[in-house]
Every structure is written in structure tokens, then in C-alpha cells.
Chains A and B, each alone.
Chain A
Amino acid sequence: MYQGQVRILVAVIILGGHFLVFFAGLLLGIFGPLLGSDAVQTVLMASPILGVTATSALMFALRGETEIAQGSKVTTLFGFVTVFFPTALILCVFIVFYAVYKQVSGFGPDQMKIALGAIETFFGVFLGAISETLFGKRASPAVTP
């Protein structure tokens, strides 16, 4: 797998995931047990890390208006780590949402907020590093005449 492919894949996961989390949070307020203020809080709590990373991914996507360089080949571990953490973050948020939707015993709106906070904190470090590595600004490549 090449660097460019990983960037595109992770950018799609993060941008798509961010959109889905936002949308699912709103649906939780409409069809789920969350009241209006709880639903808004949930969306706001589930968004920050994913939002920051999604912004970087979006900037990356916008920068590649004409072409995204394929770059060099990356290791399997690099590919796994950069895809796994954003995917795991989104899955964890969805598991929390599902548990709330199904009104699982012992897991109410208060517990959901704590869980979302914990997830955001845990994954924040990893996604920050991944975002910097994949979508951080680089020095412009030398223009060859």
C-alpha cells in the first residue's frame, strides 16, 4: 500500500465517519430516548477529536485538487495503525449510541456521556498523531524545471 492510498482511505473513513456520527446523534434525539438537550450534548461530545481530524482530512482533500501524490510504499503496521484507530473510534461511538438506543440496563444518558468522554480522551492522542502524520502540512516539493 502506498502513502497516498492510505491518506485517501483514512480521509474517507474520518470524513464519512464524522458525518455518520453527527447524523446518528441527531437520529438518537428523534427516534431514541435522548431529549433535545441530551441529543445536542451527545453530538457535541462525540465530535471534537473526530471533527479536528476530519478538518485536517478535509484540508488534505482540498489540497489535492489536481492530484494526490502516490508517495512511497508504507509498512503493513503503518497501514493497520492509521486505519484501525479512526475506525475503532467510530465503532466505539456507534456501540455507545446503540446501547443508548436499546436502553441497555445500567447504561443511561449520564453513563453515555462518561463513556463518550473516555473514548474521546483515549483515541484523541492516537488520532492527533495520525492526523499530523497523514494530513500535516509538508514542505512543498521542489519544482523541477
Chain B
Amino acid sequence: METVKRRRKLRIVLSAAATMLCLDLCPALAETLYKFRGDNASPYPWAVLAITIADGAVSGQLRPLLGDDTPPVAVSGTNSTEGVLELTMGFPSGQKKYVFKKSIKDNQIEWRTAEDKEYFFRYFDTPLSEPALTFSQHECGAMYKTLEIKFSANATAEQLEAFLARAPEVSSLPVVYSRLDEKKQTYTQISQSLAATLREGFKARAKPEPTNLNAPVGAEMYVVQKLRRSGVIAMADLDSGGCGGADRSYFVVDRRFFFDSGSFSQAKFEQFIDERLKGFAQTDKLKKSWGYRLGQRKVTRVNVPPYPSSYRIKMYVASEITRQVPGWWDSFSASFEAGELIDTKQSEYAVVVTIERLKTSKRSWGSETPPDDNYFTKDLSEFDEAEVTAALSKYLSERDGGRCVFDTEGYEREKHKSVC
């Protein structure tokens, strides 16, 4: 009898605890996350708007990007008319009221003010990815790899060293640093550790220019979040940069091609690229077969979460396939860097495609296999490299029902034969 009473008591206690927990968590579970651009309390132009709309009332928070410790701002408002949101944001400097109107563009639900100064969006079919909640989105700037950092005005060298000691995996990460030559006013690309780059940037922190560096694709999110929490950084984000051609070249496919049991599989990634490259190199658009040669591939794993991989290979392919120009063999170095980008959905994974050192060799009449490097004497332009990049990205995405992105800014689009 005593046991039954005790059980009943326990059940009542558990039920009460569950109710309290739900009161606390259930609204949070129902909240919808949007990417917000406009005034916010953080040093970044973008923030995360987390709101719940219920019975015409809106409540929630305007939160900083992930890794930034700016306190959230309370948001309240009404959704009395379909397609109109009236929001009040309680900034430390005072409350601000906005009226947003809804629109639908591609696969996004967008809310904009009449002046279009403030704006937020989410995808129809998938929540925002972690990179999307971490980085600002620039119309022209970087979407991956290139980061800009500004140091806190009151940060000390001791604090920087303490951070580097606390995060050895970040400190030792290989990056490419753009070092300014004061006399020539030109930038030189230096490969060194992130620690060395941060020390160099810290010394030059008084200058107005931010420290720019290229991090391995896929590792940017971890690096930026760590830097934001380091206590020495005022701002760490994707490079806001300027518009430039071919700055974006990647393709996106379903995660299942690279993931095994929920985590990224280097073996599957290698197998995917191996197989697809052979397919790309052997047949042109008219289904004509060509000889090709693939060099020794080099696969490296980046030593910070989520441990992304990069795949580099030298390729020798008929120009009918790469540039859709008859009569040449093309040789180039192709690199494929896997990672989650700001515009990838949770079911997708991106691979950044980079083509470098594109050379060509005139094909002898009747030649069936590409010659060795001695014959590749003619360097091709960056426009041709862009063409090959687009062709490769397009093939790799189309074959598996994905999509590709290639920035043709600065290139004459009508002259491009392969366009994503």
C-alpha cells in the first residue's frame, strides 16, 4: 500500500516537473528562426530573429550570430493582418518599431520594411543551417574561405597568447594570410598557421584594414565561433569584400553522398569524387569518348570540427569537355573542398571547386591520349579557368540532382558555354 502511494507521489512530481519544463521549453520549440539584416545590438550587420507567432501575437528575441556574446534583444509585436508583421525591438538604446511585409522569392519567405533597410528571411522547406546562423551574408563578399578579423581595442598580447594556448587546434590550423607590402602597396599571399597570422594581425591592429585570411573550406564556422569567444576579437566574419568574378564556385548535392551514420565520411567523399571525375573526363556533350589522365590525388583532412576534407588532383582532359573548344588537351589542378555553407540546407552538403594552373596543348591529329606535361606549354587565362570550373561544377551537380553556383561577375556571360 505504501509502495502504491509512493509511486503515485512520484508520478505527480514527475508530471509537475514535465509541465514546468514544457512551460519553459515548449515556446522555444515552436519558435522559428529567421536571418535578420538591419539594426541590431551586435557588431555584425546580421542577426538571428527567433520569434513565435501565436493568435496574432508575436514574441521572441533578436539574437546575435552564433559565437557572439552580445545579449539578445526582446522582440514583441502583432500579426493582425495576413502578410504584415509589426515588430518592436527593445534595443539598449531604446525601442524601435518596424512594419514588415511578406513576400516569397524562390524558396525563401522574406519579410521587408517599406524602405527595405530591415529584412529577414527563412527557407520554406528547411531550417537555417549552423553556418547561416554564424555568418553574415554579403551580396558580393565571400561565402566561404575568406575571413576578416578586427581585434578589440583593449585586447592585450597576453590575452591573445592565452587564447592560442587554450585552442591549440585553431592555433595550428594552416591558413593563407594576405600580407600588405607597405612600399609596393600590394598584397602577398603567405601560407602559415592561424596563430602566426593572428599575431601578425594583432601587431597591425591599429590600422583601419581588417586582417584577412583564407581558412580551409568547412572549418570557417568553427574558427569564427572560437575567435568570437576568444575575448580578443571585436569582429570575425566572412569577408565582406567586393564583387569579383569567379569568387563563388561550388556545387551542392544531397548529404547521403558524403555522410555515413550521420557524420562526414572521407572515404565516401573520395569515392564520390573519384567516380564522378572519370565520368566527367571521358565523354563530351555529344557523347563522344575521349582519352584522359588523372594524376595522383591528394586528400587531406582539416584538423578542426567538423573535420572537413579536401581533394586535390591533376587532370588531363580533352578541351571538347572542359571548354567545349575542339582540338586541344587541357591540364589543370582541381581541388574539391567539402563543407557546409551559408546557403546549404540541412539535407545538403557543398563542395567548393577550384581550378588552377590551366594549361593547354594542341592535339596531334589522331591523338587519343593526353601527352605529358612537356607539351602543356600554353597558359590559359582566368576566363578559361572559370569556364572549366563551371563545366566541372555543372557536371558534378547535375549528375546527382544537385545544383551548382558559379559567380560570373566580371565575365561575359554570353561567352560562357557552361553556366550554372
Of the listed residues B363, B365, B371, B373, the one surrounded by the most CB atoms of chain A closer than 10 A to its CB is B371
A31 and B374 form a contact (CB under 8 A)? no
Of the listed residues A35, A106, A108, A109, the one surrounded by the most CB atoms of chain B closer than 10 A to its CB is A108
Of the listed residues B362, B371, B378, the one surrounded by the most CB atoms of chain A closer than 10 A to its CB is B362
B377 and A35 form a contact (CB under 8 A)? yes
A residues within 8 A CB of B361? 33, 103
| B375 at interface, CB cutoff 8 A | yes
A102 and B374 form a contact (CB under 8 A)? no
B375 and A103 form a contact (CB under 8 A)? yes
Q: Considering only CB atoms and an 8 Å cut-off, how many residues of chain A contact the other chain?
A: 16
A residues within 8 A CB of B414? none
A residues within 8 A CB of B70? none
A residues within 8 A CB of B371? 33, 103, 105, 108
B362 and A105 form a contact (CB under 8 A)? no
For A91-109 the 0/1 string (1 means CB < 8 A from B) is 0000000000111011111
Shortest distance between the CB of A107 and any CB in chain B (Å): 7
B residues within 8 A CB of A109? 374-375, 377
For B351-383 the 0/1 string (1 means CB < 8 A from A) is 000000000011111010001111101100000
Question: Nearest residue in B to A112 (C-beta to C-beta)?
Answer: B374
A31 and B378 form a contact (CB under 8 A)? no
B362 and A33 form a contact (CB under 8 A)? yes
Shortest distance between the CB of B74 and any CB in chain A (Å): 69
B378 and A108 form a contact (CB under 8 A)? no
| A127 at interface, CB cutoff 8 A | no
Q: Considering only CB atoms and an 8 Å cut-off, how many residues of chain B contact the other chain?
A: 13
Shortest distance between the CB of B360 and any CB in chain A (Å): 10
B374 and A33 form a contact (CB under 8 A)? no
Question: Nearest residue in A to B375 (C-beta to C-beta)?
Answer: A108
B372 and A32 form a contact (CB under 8 A)? no
Question: Of B364, B372, B375, which is within 8 A of A31 by CB?
Answer: B364
A32 and B374 form a contact (CB under 8 A)? no
- The CA of A41 and the CA of B362, in the complex, are separated in Å by 16
Question: Nearest residue in B to A107 (C-beta to C-beta)?
Answer: B374
A residues within 8 A CB of B363? 33
Shortest distance between the CB of A19 and any CB in chain B (Å): 22
Question: Nearest residue in A to B365 (C-beta to C-beta)?
Answer: A31
B374 and A111 form a contact (CB under 8 A)? yes
B364 and A108 form a contact (CB under 8 A)? no
A32 and B378 form a contact (CB under 8 A)? no
Question: Nearest residue in B to A104 (C-beta to C-beta)?
Answer: B371
Question: Of B364, B365, B372, B378, which is within 8 A of A105 by CB?
Answer: B372
A residues within 8 A CB of B377? 35, 38, 108-110
Shortest distance between the CB of B331 and any CB in chain A (Å): 12
Question: Nearest residue in A to B367 (C-beta to C-beta)?
Answer: A103
B362 and A108 form a contact (CB under 8 A)? no
Shortest distance between the CB of A17 and any CB in chain B (Å): 23
Shortest distance between the CB of B395 and any CB in chain A (Å): 26
Shortest distance between the CB of A111 and any CB in chain B (Å): 6
| A34 at interface, CB cutoff 8 A | yes
Shortest distance between the CB of A57 and any CB in chain B (Å): 32
Question: Nearest residue in B to A111 (C-beta to C-beta)?
Answer: B374
Q: Which residues 85-135 of A have a CB within 8 angstroms of B? A: 101-103, 105-111
A108 and B365 form a contact (CB under 8 A)? no
Shortest distance between the CB of A134 and any CB in chain B (Å): 37
Shortest distance between the CB of A23 and any CB in chain B (Å): 16
A residues within 8 A CB of B362? 32-35
From known contacts A103-B371, A105-B372, infer whether A33 and B378 are also in contact, taking CB-CB under 8 Å: no
B residues within 8 A CB of A103? 361, 364, 367, 371-372, 375
Shortest distance between the CB of A109 and any CB in chain B (Å): 6
- The CA of A105 and the CA of B376, in the complex, are separated in Å by 12
A33 and B372 form a contact (CB under 8 A)? no
Of the listed residues A32, A33, A102, A110, the one surrounded by the most CB atoms of chain B closer than 10 A to its CB is A33
B residues within 8 A CB of A111? 374
Shortest distance between the CB of B171 and any CB in chain A (Å): 44
B residues within 8 A CB of A110? 374, 377
Question: Nearest residue in A to B366 (C-beta to C-beta)?
Answer: A31
- The CA of A106 and the CA of B367, in the complex, are separated in Å by 16
Question: Nearest residue in B to A108 (C-beta to C-beta)?
Answer: B374
Question: Nearest residue in B to A105 (C-beta to C-beta)?
Answer: B372
For B369-406 the 0/1 string (1 means CB < 8 A from A) is 00111110110000000000000000000000000000
Interface residues of B (CB under 8 A from A): 361-365, 367, 371-375, 377-378
Q: List 29 A-B contacts (CB under 8 A).
A: A31-B364, A32-B362, A32-B364, A33-B362, A33-B371, A34-B362, A35-B362, A35-B377, A35-B378, A38-B377, A101-B364, A102-B367, A103-B361, A103-B371, A103-B372, A103-B375, A105-B372, A105-B374, A106-B374, A107-B374, A108-B371, A108-B372, A108-B373, A108-B374, A109-B374, A109-B375, A110-B374, A110-B377, A111-B374
Beyond contacts A33-B375, A103-B364: 18 other A-B pairs, Cβ-Cβ < 8 A, are A31-B365, A32-B364, A33-B362, A33-B363, A34-B362, A35-B362, A35-B377, A38-B377, A103-B361, A103-B367, A105-B371, A105-B374, A106-B372, A108-B372, A108-B375, A108-B377, A109-B374, A110-B377
The 4 closest A-B pairs by CB, nearest first: A108-B374, A103-B371, A31-B365, A105-B372
